[in-house]
Amino acid sequence: MEYILGKREPYCIFCPEGDGHTDAERLILHRGRLTMVMMNKYPYNNGHLLVAPWRHVGLLQDLPDEEMLDLMRWLRKSATILKNLMHPDGFNIGLNLGAAAGAGVDEHLHFHIVPRWNGDTNFMTVFADVRSIPEHLEQTYWKLKPHFAKEGNPHENF
């Protein structure tokens, strides 16, 4: 309900500036030269991540190959970190392009990585359209952060 009824951020959550908020406040796990990884503030499941280019772009065809390759590398790295740390049985990895496709922020493309476990859809989701997350976002953030720091290279040259 907070997402549906809450006040929208006056800035693009995927752009580098972040309206003066810290990376921890924004749940940013990785800042690369071209790509960022952040936790979803309104997750479908525990460990739900967002991978986006830093550049404010809404269409795949507007991404040069260098940015597309970097996004794909960070999708792979992020899924690997989640697999090793949280042991999901699978993943939903996707991209919603445009508001009609379900993009909440349609002017800045971003991929979703949603860890899935066998049986993770329960009666709360099915009957009440309510999701329950077993761990607080901040706790998950601080659990994941060191693994992204280890994967990130301050001298990335993609």
155 by Cβ neighbours in 10 Å (0-12 / 13-18 / 19+) ranks as exposed
H/E stretch holding 90: strand 90-95
**Residue in 34, 44, 36 with CA at minimum distance from that of residue 18:** 36
Q: Which residue out of 30, 48, 110, 147 is catalytically annotated?
A: 110
Q: In the numeric block, which tokens belong to residue 154?
A: 């301050």
Helix (H, G, I), strand (E, B) or coil at 53: strand
Annotation marks residue 48 as catalytic: no
Q: What residues are annotated to the active site?
A: 110
